[in-house]
């Protein structure tokens, strides 16, 4: 947020010295988005830039006014009056602070502060840097900076990822155009400091980590100042008679502000674009600095950092040992104290936690403590018990879920559940491994060669989804017909039937035990990257879609109506190889751009999921090589069962009968041959083996061997 902070200071200075009115940023943003969709690019860019300036100016004004009014209307240090009633002493200061804030913000904003109360949706857009998504308009360098700024905070945004790749290939784009216009100084310094630390460059590490700590504490104060905003009503439908009284309302709002202040440490400890905060962000600075100062020979500052760290973890044995060492080296007479800024930080945080826990214990509510270092004695005993119960309950639920997944009921041994719905950030999703062996994958890949020569699908033509790939497909019926004509091995065609049936049983037992799943369609498919046409490619191998409904990303809906295959209930992909680039499966939100999970292909891996709107998915571009898999769709509706499969199974049964007849003839011939005394005996004493040719094939019938796929 370096540029944003500079912008804030400029705006704060400008509004302090001029009576100009600051237009509410939500109004400017709405007008800018309307202009964008009206293709009035110049107007859109102007309004969106003004919206960002207004947003920064509003935050700067609030911070500045709250700091100024703390000085002008302090709660402590005012003139004492013993006869003054306590209400006047307390609320008189509160009213003075409110009056100060109203006048200060009015001067800086040029309008009533209430005009700048944007909706939660608009506030969320600015927190997620959404305006920059629209600002790829004017000059190329500015467009690149806007795109990069948005992408840093939204790294899973699919369209922006493609835009970034496009910008990187443009000849007029320089590396320094990729600037984060909202960069946070403490994160830049922290990452640089950690890099120096890991490289044993301790002098440089000390400088950057000290900078990071200063900037982090400064950002923390800015965040805390913004917590003193209007009451955020969690229950908007609360009836009028349920409104709290004076003291209840004051207490509720104050506790809300305290909780917000406590959560600020998570905000500064969360890198833009990340979901989880870095644990112990402030204490970790002191821990790293203590060691770095020790390595460069500055034991005084090393001891100071160790003493500061002990304010968070007073019983930490390694740090206590280091403190003994430092006192010995510096002399017992040398005073070693924690940093004043850290003392203030810890004391204030503990005071706020104590008030919050009192409110939770006596007034109700919850509190998610952001710190790992909170002393155990600070938490009331009854809340400790509840916390332990919640932890045990959550642990038991996790164990129950894991146990349920372990016991299946999977119908085959050796299959592993690699990822479940929780790990894939969705519902009705799972990944199995070891469904096929390596030899089975090779046999099925041999069958895919027939798909390119005589298969169905698009017969090695360009894919219907992208001109950069060839698409080859083979249904189970076509595979059986090819085997009948002697074009492919019967055993390979049979393996296709067996592998798909094995997948069906696994998916049925996992998702719908006791309820029959029928095949809707089975397709052995390969996608091959077209050589010489991958440079500059921006599309997908298969666009994002849902399998039984028509996806509407803008309306956040999926319409279950024709031409969608509305009868499909579950889908699966059984991968056969991984010797290619790209081609992974990914899941998204309903917007089709926010990626929630990815699955990388490998031999024998089966990914399965429900076919509805809860699982939009697509396939990354195959940029090199050939990706082969068995695509599977299932339905609970018997009337929509795959008819080609029935015919294929009939051909297989017919083949089995013919093979049994051949085997019987062979046994009879062997028996009659063994009873004949005229058969010659080889020098080794073994009798010659009878060999017969298979109909439609010039290959010899070999003695039957136990193959890996016989597990079917």
Preceding peptide of 93 cis, ω within 30°: no
Residues 626, 583 contacting (CB under 8 angstroms): no
Evaluate whether 300 touches 330 at the Cβ level (below 8 Å): yes
**CA dihedral (275, 122, 100, 359) positive or negative:** negative
Q: Please answer whether residues 480 and 456 qualify as being in contact, where contact means their C-beta atoms are separated by less than 8 angstroms.
A: no
The owner of tokens 């090589």 is 625
Of the residues 59, 261, 537, 627, which is catalytic? 627
The torsion angles phi and psi of 280, rounded to 5 degrees, stand at: 50, 50
Distance CA 163, CA 137 (A): 13
Which tokens belong to 537?
A: 């490619």
Nearest CA-CA partner of 296 in 162, 199, 205: 205
CA distance 534 to 429: 31
Number of other residues whose CB lies within 10 A of the CB of residue 563: 6
Omega prior to 625 cis, within 30 of 0: no
| Residues recorded for the chain | 712
State the burial class of residue 524 (Cβ atoms within 10 Å of its Cβ: 0-12, 13-18, 19+).
buried
> Could you tell me which of 92, 43, 96 has the C-alpha nearest to residue 68?
96
| Side-chain half-sphere CA neighbours of 268 within 13 A | 25
- Assess whether 107 carries a catalytic annotation: no
Beta bridge mates, 519: 634
Half-sphere exposure of 370 (CA within 13 A, CB side): 23
Which residues are identified as catalytic? 627
């Amino acid at each position: 947020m370096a540029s944003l902070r500079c912008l804030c200071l400029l705006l704060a200075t400008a509004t302090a010295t001029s009576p100009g009115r600051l237009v509410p940023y939500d109004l400017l943003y709405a007008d800018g988005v309307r202009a964008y969709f009206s293709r009035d690019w110049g107007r859109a860019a102007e309004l969106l830039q003004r919206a960002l300036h207004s947003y920064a100016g509003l935050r700067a004004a609030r911070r500045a006014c709250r700091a100024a009014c703390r000085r002008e209307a302090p709660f402590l240090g005012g003139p004492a009056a013993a006869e003054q009633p306590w209400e006047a002493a307390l609320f008189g200061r509160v009213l003075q602070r409110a009056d100060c804030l109203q006048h200060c913000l009015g001067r800086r904003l040029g309008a009533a502060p209430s005009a700048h109360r944007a909706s939660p949706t608009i506030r969320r857009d600015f927190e997620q840097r959404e305006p920059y998504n629209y600002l790829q308009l004017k000059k190329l360098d500015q467009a690149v900076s806007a795109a990069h700024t948005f992408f840093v905070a939204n790294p899973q945004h699919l369209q922006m990822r493609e835009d970034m790749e496009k910008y990187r290939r443009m000849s007029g784009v320089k590396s320094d155009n990729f600037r984060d216009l909202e960069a946070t100084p403490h994160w830049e310094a922290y990452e640089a400091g950690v890099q120096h630390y890991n490289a044993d460059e301790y002098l440089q590490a000390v400088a950057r980590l000290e900078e990071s700590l200063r900037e982090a504490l400064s950002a923390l104060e800015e965040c805390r100042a913004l917590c003193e905003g209007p009451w955020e009503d969690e229950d908007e439908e609360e009836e009028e008679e349920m409104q709290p009284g004076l003291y209840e309302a004051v207490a509720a709002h104050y506790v809300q502000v305290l909780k917000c202040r406590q959560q600020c440490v998570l905000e500064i400890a969360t890198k833009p674009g990340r979901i989880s905060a870095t644990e112990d962000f402030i204490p970790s600075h002191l821990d790293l600095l203590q060691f770095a100062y020790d390595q460069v020979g500055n034991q005084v500052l090393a001891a100071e950092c160790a003493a500061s760290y002990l304010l968070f973890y007073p019983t930490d044995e390694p740090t206590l040992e280091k403190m003994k060492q430092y006192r010995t080296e510096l002399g017992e007479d040398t005073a070693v104290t924690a940093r004043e800024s850290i003392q203030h930080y810890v004391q204030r945080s503990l005071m706020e936690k104590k008030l919050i826990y009192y409110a939770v214990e006596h007034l109700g509510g919850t509190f998610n403590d952001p710190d790992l270092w909170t002393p155990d004695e600070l938490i009331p005993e009854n809340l400790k018990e509840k916390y332990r119960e919640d932890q045990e309950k959550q642990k038991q639920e996790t164990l129950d879920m894991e146990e349920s997944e372990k016991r299946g009921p999977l119908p085959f041994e050796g299959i592993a559940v690699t990822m479940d719905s929780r790990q894939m950030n969705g519902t009705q999703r799972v990944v199995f491994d070891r469904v096929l062996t390596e030899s089975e994958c090779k046999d099925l890949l041999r069958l895919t060669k027939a798909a390119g020569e005589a298969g169905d699908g698009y017969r090695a033509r360009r894919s219907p989804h992208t001109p950069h790939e060839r698409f080859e497909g083979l249904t189970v019926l076509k595979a059986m017909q090819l085997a009948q004509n002697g074009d492919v091995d019967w055993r390979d065609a049979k393996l296709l039937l067996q592998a798909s049936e094995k997948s069906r049983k696994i998916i049925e037992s996992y998702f719908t035990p006791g309820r029959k799943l029928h095949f809707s369609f089975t397709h052995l498919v390969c996608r091959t990257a077209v050589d010489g046409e991958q440079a500059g490619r921006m599309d997908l191998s298969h666009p994002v879609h849902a399998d039984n409904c028509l996806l509407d990303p803008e309306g956040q809906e999926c319409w279950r109506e024709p031409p969608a295959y509305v009868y499909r209930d579950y889908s699966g992909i059984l991968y056969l190889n991984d010797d290619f680039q790209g081609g992974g499966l990914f899941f998204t939100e309903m917007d089709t751009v926010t990626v929630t999970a990815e699955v990388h292909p490998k031999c024998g891996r089966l990914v399965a999921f429900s076919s509805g709107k809860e699982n939009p998915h697509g396939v990354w571009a195959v940029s090199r090589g050939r990706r082969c898999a068995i695509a599977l769709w299932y339905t609970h509706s018997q009337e929509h069962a795959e008819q080609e499969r029935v015919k294929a199974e009939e051909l297989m049964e017919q083949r089995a009968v013919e093979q049994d007849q051949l085997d019987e003839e062979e046994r009879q011939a062997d028996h009659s041959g063994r009873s004949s005394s005229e058969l010659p005996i080889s020098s080794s004493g073994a009798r010659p083996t009878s060999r017969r040719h298979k109909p439609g094939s010039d290959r010899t019938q070999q003695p039957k061997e136990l193959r890996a796929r016989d597990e079917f």
